[in-house]
Amino acid sequence: MKIVEKRSDRIKFRDCVRLLERPTGRNAIAMQAAFAVVDLAILAFFLLGPYLRSSPSYLIVDYIIAAWIGLELMVRAVAAPSLRHWLARPLTWIDLVLLVTLLFPDALFNFAFLRVMRLWAIGQSPLLREVLRRAGCVSYLDVVRAVLNFLVFLFLMTGFVYTTFFYNRDGSEGFIDALYFTVATVTTTGFGDITLPGTVGKLTSVFTMIIGISLFVRLAQAIVRPHKVTFPCPRCALQRHDADAVHCKACGEVLNIPDEGS
């Protein structure tokens, strides 16, 4: 009887977590916003690391964040349909790597900048569309996602360069140098006054240039091109159409695209 009750409680807990993760509903949006605030606080801890490293409070905050991430991992594992599904999520492995670096701060670098991937996941989820729809700005969805993707990549690369090459510098000098190098590389300006040493540095620069300029072009396209909506054509399955389209451009099928007030 107790086993049945425990299983029932687990099912209720799983359903509750899944309900809160859905894009609709005030509670879901509030929960995702709370998680976003926590993620930003973790990123702030990463940036303040050089200032706090010599303070006893550094380890206290470090282990509090580790406990939070460990708890979040357990909650998502319980809510997942299966252990395989939970392990198949890329963000699970990112959080596991981050958890290990937080548990052993003296032996490993601080990879808290990986937490910015949580903000990327929110940007790719239906939650962002729901928030923009409620604000009456759903037409800016592609632009917002392009900006978010570019900023996330910029912070990821800056964090990686900072952790790998400049983390031992005092104060904010290391992070500013890493940010300066990343922006100069992404925009292919290439001033050359700051370069990354060794083979790893050269490969990092190549990767940053290739991915960064691609995201930069994608951002420009999202801003310049006319607004389109995602609405699959029932005949040819063309996904994107003009917001006021009556017929599909590919096959001429009559469309019934709902407007934002529908």
For 187-233, the pLDDT digits (tens) are 888 787 888 888 888 898 898 888 888 888 888 877 776 667 777 88
Find the domain containing 251 and state its range: 227-262
Identify the pLDDT of residue 262. 47
Q: CA-CA distance, 69 to 226, in Å (whole number)?
A: 41
How big is the chain, counted in residues? 262
Where a domain ends, among 136, 154, 183? Answer: 136
pLDDT tops 60 at residue 23: no
18 vs 253 pLDDT, higher one: 253
Looking at residue 97, its amino acid is V
Torsion sign, CA atoms 196, 202, 204, 207:
positive
Name the band, by pLDDT with cuts 50, 70 and 90, for residue 73. confident
Where a domain ends, among 136, 167, 183? Answer: 136
pLDDT tops 70 at residue 85: yes
Where a domain ends, among 136, 164, 185? Answer: 136
Q: Are residues 174 and 105 in the same domain?
A: no
Judge contact between 237 and 249, C-beta under 8 A: no
Identify the pLDDT of residue 65. 87
Q: Are residues 33 and 76 in the same domain?
A: yes
Q: Are residues 112 and 198 in the same domain?
A: no
Q: Are residues 108 and 1 in the same domain?
A: yes
Mean pLDDT across the chain, nearest whole number? 78
Long-range contacts of 170-177 (CB under 8 A, 24+ apart): 170/50, 171/50, 171/51, 172/47, 172/50, 174/50, 175/47, 175/50
- Please report how many Cα atoms fall inside a 13 Å half-sphere around the Cα of residue 105, on the Cβ side: 21
Q: Are residues 217 and 247 in the same domain?
A: no
151 three-class SS: helix
Q: Are residues 95 and 117 in the same domain?
A: yes
The pLDDT > 90 percentage for the chain reads: 1
Judge contact between 20 and 28, C-beta under 8 A: yes
Residue 257: partners with Cβ closer than 8 Å, 6 or more residues away: 229, 231, 241, 243, 244, 245
Q: Are residues 42 and 83 in the same domain?
A: yes
Q: Are residues 6 and 113 in the same domain?
A: yes
Domain containing residue 144: CATH number: 1.10.287.70
Identify the pLDDT of residue 12. 62
Structural domain count, the chain: 3
The pLDDT > 70 percentage for the chain reads: 83
Is pTM beyond 0.85? Reply is no
Identify the pLDDT of residue 88. 86
Q: Are residues 98 and 165 in the same domain?
A: no
pLDDT tops 60 at residue 54: yes
Mean pLDDT lowest among 43-57, 153-167, 210-224, 248-262 = 248-262
Q: What phi and psi values does residue 167 have, to the nearest 5 degrees?
A: -70, -25
Angle, helices 90-103 vs 116-124, to 10°: value is 160
Rg (CA), the chain: 22
Which residues are bridge partners to 247 per DSSP?
254
pLDDT tops 70 at residue 131: yes
Average pLDDT of the residues in 79-99 = 82
Q: Are residues 219 and 258 in the same domain?
A: no
Q: Are residues 200 and 255 in the same domain?
A: no
Q: Are residues 69 and 167 in the same domain?
A: no
pLDDT tops 70 at residue 260: no
- Please report how many Cα atoms fall inside a 13 Å half-sphere around the Cα of residue 112, on the Cβ side: 25
Average pLDDT of the residues in 122-136 = 74
Alpha helices in the chain (DSSP H): 2-21, 26-47, 49-52, 56-79, 83-87, 90-103, 116-124, 126-134, 141-161, 173-186, 198-224
- Please report how many Cα atoms fall inside a 13 Å half-sphere around the Cα of residue 205, on the Cβ side: 19
